[in-house]
Amino acid sequence: MPPHLNLLTVDLEEWFVVEALSDKHGRAEWENLPSTVEKNTYRLLDLFQRYDVRATFFVLGYCAERYPGLIKDISEAGHEVGCHSFLHRRVDTLDPEEFRLDTRRAMNAILKACGVRPLGYRAPSWSINESSGWALDILADLGFEYDSSIFPIKHDLYGMPKGPREMFRMKFDSGRFLYEIPASTYRLAFWNLPIAGGGYLRHCPYWYSSRIIKRLNRTGRPAVVYIHPWEIDPDPPQVEGLSRMQKLRTYGSTAILQTKLQRLLTDFTFTTIIDYIRAQRQQQIGFR
């Protein structure tokens, strides 16, 4: 029996754009802050090469514009390059035209950097929800094949608790289609438990993440693992005046994430999102 495939994704962004630090560093300060995205992304690339695995990198357009060589190296290493917006602004704070312009700007920056038009999109801070579902129609209109922005949990910063937990295909009035690949959750009683990415992967013991991924795989579902380059930085830039929660979200367990990643890459089989979608299409299963 072939191994179950899981989806390995990287939200390629700078450490200072994250939602937990949104009240600390405005856009006007970005150019004056120390950049860590290159060194940490190359560490990830080396790790993925060592384990012979390909991932989907959702690239922030701002990073593509500043470090085009990095994005080209990612693409030439055989990884999928997707879009993560241009300025990491929450979709639910934009109007449709602002979202379209931001997304198109990011697409152009990525295309210029590596010669590849992104087919997948992931919103900053999982910010496609009940109030911003209109963005999915725009993504389809811009030519994206899939979105991976819905997180079906309740969270203080994001989430769509009643959102879909499995991959599905949407059809719009224009006749265009768009696949949705939501973040992975595990259903326990009345709650969806987040797993396999970000702070949940960092803070939870490895046995928990591994066990839940195996349970998902037994039901025929892939786990969507997501990480950020700054999460494997052993010596991240320090920000003064953070609350306890901000410190936990920014620095918590970053020193051990690489070890967990190595175990995941040893214990499970991964592929890119676009390759998984195409394989499902060929088999005509997995989507309703």
pLDDT at 122: 97
Distance, CA of 57 to CA of 8 (rounded, Å): 9
The C-alpha torsion from 259 through 263 and 266 to 269, rounded to 10°, is: -110
Among 114, 67, 109, CA closest to 84 = 109
Instruction: Using the structure block, give the residue that is written with the tokens 């701002």.
Output: 62
The pair of structure tokens assigned to 83 is 């879009």
Per-residue model confidence as pLDDT tens for the chain (288 residues): 356 899 999 999 999 998 777 777 788 899 999 999 999 999 999 999 999 999 999 999 999 999 999 999 999 999 999 999 999 999 999 999 999 999 999 999 999 999 999 999 999 998 998 888 899 999 999 999 999 998 876 655 665 667 677 888 999 888 899 999 998 887 776 777 777 777 778 878 889 899 989 998 998 889 999 999 999 988 888 777 767 766 656 665 566 788 999 999 999 999 999 999 998 888 765 444
Query: Could you tell me the CA-to-CA distances from 273 to 55, 93, 222 in Å, in that order?
Result: 8, 27, 10
Task: Please say whether the beta carbons of 198 and 153 come within 8 A.
Answer: no
243-282 as b/e: b if 16+ CB within 10 A: eeebeebbbeebeebbebbeebbeebebbbbbebbeebee
pLDDT given at position 121: 98
Q: pTM of the entire structure?
A: 0.92
The neighbour count for residue 123, using CB atoms within 10 Å, is 28
What the block records as the tokens of 223 is 């786990």
Domains of the chain, CATH where assigned: 5-283 (3.20.20.370)
Per-residue pLDDT, 258: 87
d(CA 167, CA 181): 5
Closest residue by Cα to residue 182 from 155, 159, 158, 149? 149
Q: What is the pLDDT of residue 111?
A: 98
Give 238-261 as a DSSP string. Answer: P-TT--HHHHHHHHTTGGGHHHHH
pLDDT of amino acid 159: 55
| Contacts of residue 62, Cβ cutoff 8 Å, sequence gap at least 6 | 14, 17, 30, 86, 87, 88, 109
